[in-house]
Amino acid sequence: MIKRQLFFSLSILCFMWCSCNNKAAKDSTNSRTEKQGLNFNDKNELKKSIGSLEDSLMREIPKDRKTEARINLRRIDLMNRMEAFVQKFPKDVYAGDCWFKLHLMASAMKAHRKSVAYGDSLLVNFPGHPKRILILESMVSAYDIFLTPRDEVKIKFYLSQLIKEKGYPEEQKKELEKRMKYIHLTFDEYVQLQARPLAKLLMSC
């Protein structure tokens, strides 16, 4: 009985502590937003702030660890702004560009699971996006090379999407079809398989 009462008391305390922490975190976020002077509900203002931060980051050069750390924080801020845009204005054309950039940035940060999630969001919400082929190629690479364990179903899916693309070169489609045939091999194993005929040719010379 005492144990049950103690457990109940601890549960109430934990709930109150979490509630206070969540409120503090929310207040902190609101405070930061107010300090930055950003209105996340204003589409044009948010879009302009994303562009300005992008331009500023392109001029940044990581001279030392301190500078690099600051740049990384600003990149995260940029990604947060882009995420805010796609959530608040999901049908706006600019949201497609945000999904694309989020995909590339997450990939560069080696956050590959997040990267493919962004890529999927772009493909689902903006199937006719100008960067569609580039995203599909990136998705194939992520699932075939970087993500473990390898998901052969996903690799086949994105390979087949590329093969169906009308503007994709026929020669490259043949290469993708060959990759599909040896999908059971890892990327490294497939590269070794491709290199065998060349190795035999060199040995015969």
CA distance 143 to 156: 10
Per-residue pLDDT, averaged over 5-19, amounts to 37
Return d(Cα 24, Cα 42) in angstroms, integer: 25
Instruction: Please give the Cα distance from 149 to 26 (Å, whole number).
Output: 37
Distance CA 45, CA 37 (A): 10
Contact, 32 vs 24, CB < 8 A?
no
Distance, CA of 81 to CA of 85 (rounded, Å): 6
Token pair for residue 25? 């975190």
- Residue 116: Cβ-neighbour burial (10 angstroms; 0-12, 13-18, 19+): buried
Q: What is the pLDDT of residues 25-38, one digit of tens each?
A: 333 333 344 336 78
Model pLDDT for residues 72-92, shown as the tens digit of each residue: 999 999 999 999 999 999 999
The model's pTM: 0.77
Residue 121 predicted with pLDDT over 90: yes
